[in-house]
Amino acid sequence: MTASATDAARKPVILAVDDDPQVLRAVRRDLRSAYADDYRVLSASSAVEALSVLDALDERSQDPALFLVDQRMPDMTGVDFLLEAVSRYPDAKRVLLTAFAETEAAITAINRVRLDYYLMKPWDPPAERLFPVLDDLLSDWAAAYRPIYRGIRVVGHPVSAGTHSVRDFLTRNGAPFRFLNAETDPEALLLLAEHPQAGLPLVVFPEGAPLSAPGTAELADRLGLATTASRPHYETVIVGAGPAGLAASVYAASEGLSTLLLDADSPGGQAGTSSLIENYLGFPAGLSGGDLARRAVSQATRFGAELLHPVDVVGLRRADPARILTLADGSEISAETVLVATGVSYNRLEVPGAERFEGAGLYYGAATTESSSCISHHVHIIGGANSAGQAAIHFSRYAARVTVLVRGDSLEAGMSRYLVDEIRRAPNIEVRLTTRVLALDGGDRLEYITLLDDAAGRRTVEPVNFVFTFIGGRPRTDWLHGVVDCDDRGFVLTGPDLMSSGEPPVSWPPGRVPFLLETSVPGVFAAGDVRAHSIKRVASGVGEGAMAVALIHRYRSHG
């Protein structure tokens, strides 16, 4: 089914029923001329055929908005059809088409089927005698319409580490869902009564058994995410699906390399959690990190790249001429070349209470899945770089107050000017400089934060609802230990950084020096935030990913 056909199938339905072919054609023509943009217009030449249409709508979970039915039909009168139809779809509007002699039947139908209107034939001109009536009825229907949600439902506590993990995973993988508060939502209480042994969060799918407190592997399986490679060997394997890895996968696949992209979580990396990236070239209105990731994945897969996630890579070894990647499940993948683009993860907040309240009031990164939970609350943002500024602006649209806690004495020192200006214009954002967190406290969830203003020497304990922290990153390179050279902070050394003595690494083959983004292992490259001395920007990550593919071609040509 094409995208346009899918969109049409999702529209609410107007169903016209008349046994006179000429009248039915006229009805269908007039309805489509006025309502085709917002409604799917269907027609049936008998009541029996119309009931079959209702069966099909029920199977496809589609909702009729209005029935326009002729009264005099040989197999079943219009009133009798409406009696059956409204028993299935009680909220649909009902209009009866009648001849002058049938007005008594129409008036009776007002009581029998709660008829909304009856129209005398002919209704010409429709702009005066048909459309105003239907406009009012459809407007009333649309105002009251509450479609039955038939997608994924997540039942859990609003502030819970397990619930947050599930909601965040579904959101980052583009799986629509509805969250139901396990404490107050009537639908949640019904679902929990149906599954009394279930743990929270409970994830209910349109089909199949629900999942009780699932991990990401279980969710990935139910969502149909690929986690197993289709072949044992690839020309290039990219580890990490952030901006650098996604860009590399697009260029590698488009240039004909068999390409595998692996990610331990969800495509987008740290940038994928950004609520709005406003300084990325070509998007003057900005775009979210999630949108950028989805577009890049679509582009890479269109060129033939294969994406597996969530898949953990736990080891790398040389088996010349191949490089062998070991996955967490014990399986191995062979590659001619490897690109390390695993990025960084936010540093943990090393204060009392931080570990206890992670996911229960304390969050690392933007965690935009919590936006609705923050409505009318007080949000604290820890950090003074761009990611913290983007988060502050995003949450200011939901929270009553946003407080940005910065250890330094200037916001401009670590944040782009456009973000600084936006923060200062926002009436509900407060910036507190020279301030750091000493402790977090509370009961089942985070309730208090202890702060120290270094400049004033003042310590305070304040109520807190939500804390989002952005305090620098640590590279995801534990799996490279002892194989690829890194600096003292764990960032991967590449190119000139490997030649501090003027000579390539001892293990390097004679005759050439490492390419610009090549690591201490020939044929293994690094790009993006994981690389030592990289520029921590989305655009530079994309650029390095593209550059890495050009260098991979040079390596394959010259060894």
Full set of structural domains in the chain with CATH: 12-144 (3.40.50.2300), 152-223 (3.40.30.10), 233-345+474-558 (3.50.50.60), 362-471 (3.50.50.60)
pLDDT in tens, 312-344: 999 999 999 999 999 999 999 999 999 999 999
- pLDDT interval class at 5 (50, 70, 90): very low
Task: Check pLDDT > 80 for residue 368.
Answer: no
Q: Is 524 exposed, middle or buried (0-12, 13-18, 19+ CB in 10 A)?
A: buried
State the Rg of the chain over Cα.
30
Report pLDDT for 501: 65
Strand order in the sheet with 93-98: 40-44, 13-17, 64-70, 93-98, 117-120
For residue 1, name the pLDDT band (cuts at 50, 70, 90): very low
Give pLDDT, residue 100.
Answer: 66
pTM of the model: 0.75
Residue 3 has pLDDT above 60, yes or no: no
Q: Is the pLDDT of residue 222 over 70?
A: yes
> Is 464 in a helix, a strand, or coil?
coil
| Residues 492/530, Cβ–Cβ less than 8 Å | yes
Q: What is the pLDDT of residue 158?
A: 86
Q: What is the pLDDT of residues 385-431, one digit of tens each?
A: 999 999 999 999 999 999 999 999 999 999 999 999 999 999 999 99
Q: 465-520, pLDDT tens digit by residue? A: 999 999 988 999 999 999 999 999 999 999 999 987 677 777 777 778 899 999 99
* Higher-pLDDT residue of 101, 109: 109
Q: Residue 10, Cβ neighbours under 10 Å: how many? A: 11
CB contact at 8 A, 311 and 209:
no
Q: Which residue has the higher pLDDT, 215 or 104?
A: 215
Amino acid 518: pLDDT: 97
- Per-residue model confidence (pLDDT) at position 381: 96
pLDDT at residue 2 is higher than 60: no
Q: Determine the pLDDT at residue 283.
A: 84
- Look at 70 and 174; give whichever has higher pLDDT: 70
Determine if residue 511 is left, alpha or beta; phi over 0 gives left, psi from -120 to 50 gives alpha, anything else beta: left
Residues 401 and 426: their CA atoms lie apart, in Å, by 10
Integer Cα distance of 204 and 210 in angstroms:
4
CA-based nearest residue to 176, from 147, 148, 149: 149
pLDDT at 6 (0 to 100): 46
How far is the C-alpha of 468 from the C-alpha of 387, rounded, in Å?
Answer: 11
What span, in angstroms and rounded, lies between the C-alpha atoms of 327 and 225?
Answer: 16
Give 167 or 116, the one with higher predicted confidence.
Answer: 167
Q: How far apart (Å, rounded) are the C-alpha atoms in residues 123 and 526?
A: 71
Give the per-residue pLDDT at 457: 94
Q: Hey, what amino acid is at 250?
A: V
Can you tell me the mean pLDDT for 82-103?
Answer: 83
The mean predicted confidence, pLDDT, of the chain is 90
Which tens digit of pLDDT belongs to each residue from 536-548?
889 999 999 999 9
Mean pLDDT of 109-119: 78
- The rounded distance, in Å, linking the Cα atoms of 57 and 192 is 29
* Percent of the chain residues past pLDDT 90, beyond the cut: 69
**In percent, how much of the chain has pLDDT > 70?**
96
Task: Kindly report, residue by residue over 140-168, the tens digit of the pLDDT.
Answer: 888 877 776 778 999 999 888 899 999 98
User: In angstroms, rounded to a whole number, what is the distance separating the alpha carbons of residues 98 and 26?
Assistant: 15
DSSP 345: E
